[in-house]
Amino acid sequence: MTNSPVSPWWSDAVFYQVYPRSFRDGNGDGVGDLDGVVEHLDHLSNLGVDAIWLNPVTVSPMADHGYDVADPRDVDPLFGGLGALDRLVEAAHAVGIKVTMDLVPNHTSSQHPWFQAALAAGPGSAQRQRYLFRDGTGPGGIHPPNNWPSIFGGPAWTRVVEPDGSPGQYYLHLFDPEQPDLNWENPEVFDDLEKTLRFWLERGVDGFRIDVAHGMAKPPGLPDMSLTGNALLRNSDDDPRFNNDAVHDIHRGIRSVLDDFPEAVTIGEIWVFDNADFAKYLRPDELHLGFNFRLVRADFDATEIKEAIENSLAAAELAGSPATWTLSNHDVEREVTRYGGGPDGLAKARAMALVLLALPGAVFVYNGEELGLPNVELPDDVLQDPVWERSGYSERGRDGCRVPLPWAGAAPPFDFSTSHDVWLPMPTEWTDLTVAAQERDPDSTLALFRRAIELRHGRGSFGPGVEFLEAPPHVLSFRGTDGVTCVVNTGTTPTALPPGDLLIASAALDDGQLPPQTAAWVR
């Protein structure tokens, strides 16, 4: 099947990323869950989003908060079990919101029955062939099979104790030791993934965000790598752990299943920066959409933003697939903080929200972005991300962008939960950032997002590109195919707006001019 000439629902959709631990706690145990999402579905309807992307909710020991999957075809009791997912899909569909889930094909949990069976069965067994077990090197196999580091820090290999008690083989884990990599050369692995895909699609799920979609396939012989540039989401394009050619066969296999469900979408997490290589993942028989992280990497600077947009559009055009846009997610520092924090960081984040929502393609908003939440500086003793421990306590990890959302009230837990013991502490100074407080303020970040998404939907269908207009230094101006111009001022002096009706601005104009750190749409 080829990509259809009629625009599918996701082409210009606004996806809202729900980090389930942090959205809303429906059962009072201090951790968010799926019934919590159902309870606050009105927030998403009012925001006007088209779809939800749920971070993993499948059964997991939570070593990496769900990205260590022990049963891919059941929902963890922490999130309310399968019944809660069914309730969410039904309630979301009733208000016209699609539900997409995270799919984790690169690795499983070390508690997955397959991995437990592999440990018990010993070297040379069929059970070990589902993972990447290898003998060590050096006398008595004391060294790992190659020099690969784990993305979370430390070696990517862990040595096991064999069933007879002797020091044994090593298994590969690109992430945590509790996330052993699957052996994608073993056909059983795809067969099982196909069961998982069909299981959720038949239950009414509308698609998948595919974790580490540039991973899975490993290079023949697992050669050593250069050891510069190892970090979460910062791998380089010549890193042998990722982007190996055989990965495309895996995506073709996934697409052949998805084509039985033509309304369902796949969005790959693809940390590949060469446009031609990136575009390969989006060929008509592979993924529908690929996450593009260029805006996440761009500073609040007109030139950098323009380059990120041009580059993303060029990659999408090469692939003939819609572009995707994102400013943050559960793995990166929130943009308010990235842009410097405080009122300036917030002003820049609000301006960038208008840039994001003016672009053609699928847009992803990370929960809390619509409230202008900053990252949170958390004390050492509450940190939970495995990165903290694995990096030898040198990298604090991603907990600071995962703090629960403030809904109402004047003190933590701000109606996130009925429990005061929430899984990550919430800052006392978030009183003015709650949904309830922002609903009362017509100039709030929430109001800005609601209005911008409403206007975006009103613009109808976007063309594939934008036209960049001449602009003074530090100002970026681009026009969509429907004639709406977005102008963002990253400089230090006000700038003139083009003639036309002002549709929206991220801050009040200054004598008819666009102030620094502000964006506006004009028609």
CB of 463 to ligand NOJ, least distance (A): 31
First vs last Cα of the chain: how many Å apart?
39
Q: Report phi then psi at 208, rounded to 5.
A: -140, 140
User: Which residue lies nearer to ligand NOJ by CB, 35 or 68?
Assistant: 68
User: Which residue lies nearer to ligand NOJ by CB, 72 or 360?
Assistant: 72
Catalytic annotation, pick one of 102, 211, 335, 369: 211
228 burial (CB, 10 Å; 0-12 / 13-18 / 19+) is exposed
User: Which residue lies nearer to ligand NOJ by CB, 398 or 459?
Assistant: 398
Please answer whether residues 336 and 376 qualify as being in contact, where contact means their C-beta atoms are separated by less than 8 angstroms: no
269 is catalytic: yes
Please answer whether residues 349 and 336 qualify as being in contact, where contact means their C-beta atoms are separated by less than 8 angstroms: yes
Structure tokens at 355: 């840039």
CB of 212 to ligand NOJ, least distance (A): 5
CB of 249 to ligand NOJ, least distance (A): 21
What is the C-alpha to C-alpha distance for residues 325 and 216, in angstroms, rounded to an integer?
24
CB of 93 to ligand NOJ, least distance (A): 26
Catalytic annotation, pick one of 33, 239, 269, 369: 269
Q: E strands, 46-194, where?
A: 51-54, 58-59, 71-75, 98-103, 133-134, 157-161, 167-172
Question: What radius of gyration, in Å, describes the C-alpha atoms of the chain?
Answer: 23
The DSSP output letter for 78 is G
User: Which residue lies nearer to ligand NOJ by CB, 330 or 334?
Assistant: 330
What is the C-alpha to C-alpha distance for residues 80 and 91, in angstroms, rounded to an integer?
15
Structure tokens at 95: 């208000």
Q: Report phi then psi at 264, rounded to 5.
A: -100, 150
- Residue 236's Cβ-side half-sphere holds a number of Cα atoms within 13 Å equal to 8
Counted residue by residue, the chain has a size of 523
DSSP lists the bridge partners of residue 117 as none
User: Which residue lies nearer to ligand NOJ by CB, 155 or 345?
Assistant: 155
What is the C-alpha to C-alpha distance for residues 238 and 327, in angstroms, rounded to an integer?
25
Residue 493 identity (one-letter amino acid): T
Residues 6 or more apart whose Cβ sits within 8 Å of residue 157: 134, 144, 145, 146, 148, 170, 171, 172, 173
Closest CA to 103 of 243, 10, 215: 215
Torsion, Cα of 347, 350, 356, 357 (10° steps): -150
Torsion, Cα of 85, 89, 92, 93 (10° steps): -170
CB of 104 to ligand NOJ, least distance (A): 6
Residue 123 identity (one-letter amino acid): P
User: Which residue lies nearer to ligand NOJ by CB, 280 or 330?
Assistant: 330
User: Which residue lies nearer to ligand NOJ by CB, 194 or 331?
Assistant: 331
Structure tokens at 98: 């699609």
What is the C-alpha to C-alpha distance for residues 480 and 466, in angstroms, rounded to an integer?
5
Residues lying near ligand NOJ in the complex (CB under 6 A): 64, 67, 104, 175, 211-212, 269, 330-331
Rounded to the nearest angstrom, the gap between the alpha carbon of residue 301 and the centroid of all alpha carbons in its chain is 23
User: Which residue lies nearer to ligand NOJ by CB, 12 or 76?
Assistant: 76
Closest CA to 43 of 329, 361, 408: 408
Active site residues: 211, 269
